[in-house]
Amino acid sequence: MERMELRRRLDSCEKVLIGLGEEWKLQAGQEDGRREQVRKAYEVLYQMIKDKDYFIITMATDAVIYDTSLGSRKEQVSSAGRKEQEISLCNGVKEEMLARMERVFPKRETPRDSRWERIVAPCGNETWRQCSKGCTKDIWEPGEISDDRCPHCGAPLTRNTIDAQIYIEEGYLPQWERYTRWLAGTLNCDTLILELGAGFKNPGVIRFPFERTAYFNKKAFLCRIHKRFPQVTEELKERGGSILGDSVAAILEGF
């Protein structure tokens, strides 16, 4: 797939679904250059999509994304789609009639989410703590429990990620509900599905679901960027493309 074509699709689409895979997770002992590269890539990605209606699924459990502009709790995400007036005129409603209707039925302000509310991390968050024995659904912020032991059963606390012996999923479920509502609104919309660095470690989180979403939404286009497995399925060859390479580097290069 030509990178210029991908950039054109990003500029023109109504909605953007982004999946950040294993390539975006900072590893223990990783060289400082790579860590800085990933942090910069988050900021470049922010500049690319900040004016779009988007949602991000991330497999990176390090929570670095929340320390970037993408994870802002103050800045809001733009809502995409044509203006109501444009839709009504396309459906044959005259401008005068539309003005009368708006006087009788004032247009409501569209709810908007802060940017951190457009991120879901189903694999968990390393900065959150949970009971290692899974005796409770409670999840704690860093430092909230001073002795790092479960106040209910006394077991040591551990990271709230899929690597825990018993993973407490309640931490990400509220955001997952937001995601599923947003995803339902992409049907029949011009949607770019941008899959970045998601391989086969946990393909049921991003890779397989993104293929299904692209398959059922005939206006969707899936672009998969991965340094080993960028291929798209035969069913999506007309509405999909692939780029072989490090997805973090691809974002830094503007595709």
What would the pLDDT profile of 197-223 be if each residue is shown by its tens digit? 999 989 999 999 999 999 999 999 999
Which residue type sits at 117? E
Together in a domain, 91 and 155: no
Residue 209 corresponds to which tokens in the numbers above? 């679901």
Do 72 and 198 have their domain in common? yes
Give the pLDDT score at 79.
74
Mean residue pLDDT across the chain? 89
The Cα 94–Cα 97 span in angstroms is 5
pTM assigned to the model: 0.86
Judged against a pLDDT cut of 70, whether residue 83 lies above it is answered with no
One domain for residues 12 and 72: yes
Residue 60 pLDDT: 96
In the predicted model, what is the mean pLDDT of residues 59-67?
A: 95
Q: Which DSSP letter does residue 146 get?
A: T
128 lies in the same domain as 72: no
Residue 229's domain is classified under what CATH number?
Answer: 3.40.50.1220
pLDDT at 31 over 80: no
Residue 85 reports pLDDT greater than 50 = no
* Structural domain boundaries enclosing 103: 82-108
pLDDT over threshold 50, residue 92: no
Element housing 124 (H / E):
strand 124-131
pLDDT exceeding 70 applies to what percent of the chain? 86
- 221 with 176, same domain: the answer is yes
Residues 179 and 248 reside in one and the same domain: yes
Sign of CA dihedral 162, 44, 200, 26: negative
Judgement on whether residues 163 and 194 belong to the same structural domain of the protein:
no
In eight-state DSSP terms, residue 202 is: S
User: Is pLDDT at 101 greater than 70 in this prediction?
Assistant: no
Whether residues 251 and 176 share a domain: the answer is: yes
- Structural domain total, the chain: 3
Q: Between 143 and 28, name the one with better pLDDT.
A: 143
Residue 99 and residue 63 share a domain: no
Sign of CA dihedral 250, 51, 79, 169: positive
Confidence of residue 53 (pLDDT cuts 50, 70, 90): very high
